[in-house]
Structure 1
Amino acid sequence: MGKAKHTAAASSRRAGVAPGQSDIAAAAKAPELKFYTLKPGDTLWKIAEAVYGHGHGDKYHLIFEANKKLLLSKPGKIFPGQVLQIPPLSG
């Protein structure tokens, strides 16, 4: 058994990656999940402006796509208390 562990560690070193290092790097690169609880008067456009910044309301479709199952198929079908996942703004 000890030989198998030694071989796995050695192959990791040969590849230039310390054991467990790739897991840490992947976790560091993974975007943090964000959530938003809808309030009265919210729209997906307003939420996009609030979370992505002024001038980014047109990114509402990212929020819709991330929550498609919850929102069914119509962005206007939202109500206070729903919790939406907010995907990262890429690029």
Structure 2
Amino acid sequence: MLDPTATADSGGLVLRHPIIGGEQITCAWIEIAARGPEITLLERTVNGQPGLVAQLDDTIVSVYAFDIADGRITRIWVTRNPEKLRPWTVD
């Protein structure tokens, strides 16, 4: 079984390199969450995959898509680049 991998498109602002391994991903996400204010996570389908949309007030701040195999997350694709988030709206 391969280790999960997280990749982010943040315009070079956050997660500049892929993070490999469940423990490493968890630590990185905890560190990111500790830096910021309360974020609302909304379950959404993202490009046909299970996903999350992170919202701060009325603004989408990141979008997450998950590749899943055998009931486990194998890859997390994160978009945090503000230019690429403009088309997203909250339903």
TM range, smaller chain: under 0.3
Question: Normalising by the residue count of structure 1, what TM-score does the alignment of the two structures yield?
Answer: 0.26
When you count helix as a share of all residues, which structure comes out higher?
Answer: 1
Of the two structures, which has the highest relative contact order with CA contacts closer than 8 Å and spacing of 6 or more?
1
When you count strand as a share of all residues, which structure comes out higher?
Answer: 2
